[in-house]
Amino acid sequence: MTHAEGGAPVMGINAVRAALSQGGVRELWLDRARRDRRLSELVDLARAAGVPVRQQDRCALDEATAGGNHQGALAWTQAPAARGEADLDQLLASGPADPLLLVLDGVTDPHNLGACLRCADGAGALAVIAPRDRACGLTATAVKVASGAAASVPFVQVTNLARTLARLQERGLWVIGLAGEADASLFALELTGPLALVLGSEGQGLRRLTRKRCDQLAALPLRGQVESLNVSVSAGICLYEALRQRLAGAA
**Do residues 83 and 154 lie in contact, with contact meaning Cβ atoms separated by under 8 Å?**
yes
Per the annotation, does 229 bind a ligand? yes
User: Which residues does 25 contact at the CB level (< 8 Å), separation at least 6?
Assistant: 10, 19, 46, 49, 51, 75, 76, 77, 78
User: Which residues does 220 contact at the CB level (< 8 Å), separation at least 6?
Assistant: 178, 180, 185, 186, 229, 234, 237, 238
| Sheet (strand 53-56) strand order | 8-11, 73-77, 25-31, 53-56
User: Which residues does 233 contact at the CB level (< 8 Å), separation at least 6?
Assistant: none
What is the distance, to the nearest Å, from the Cα of residue 14 to the centroid of all Cα atoms in its chain? 16
Per the annotation, does 148 bind a ligand? no
Per the annotation, does 42 bind a ligand? no
Burial class (CB in 10 A: 0-12, 13-18, 19+), 103: buried
Burial class (CB in 10 A: 0-12, 13-18, 19+), 76: buried
Q: Which residues are annotated as a binding site?
A: 200, 220, 229
Q: Which residues are annotated as a binding site for S-adenosyl-L-methionine?
A: 200, 220, 229
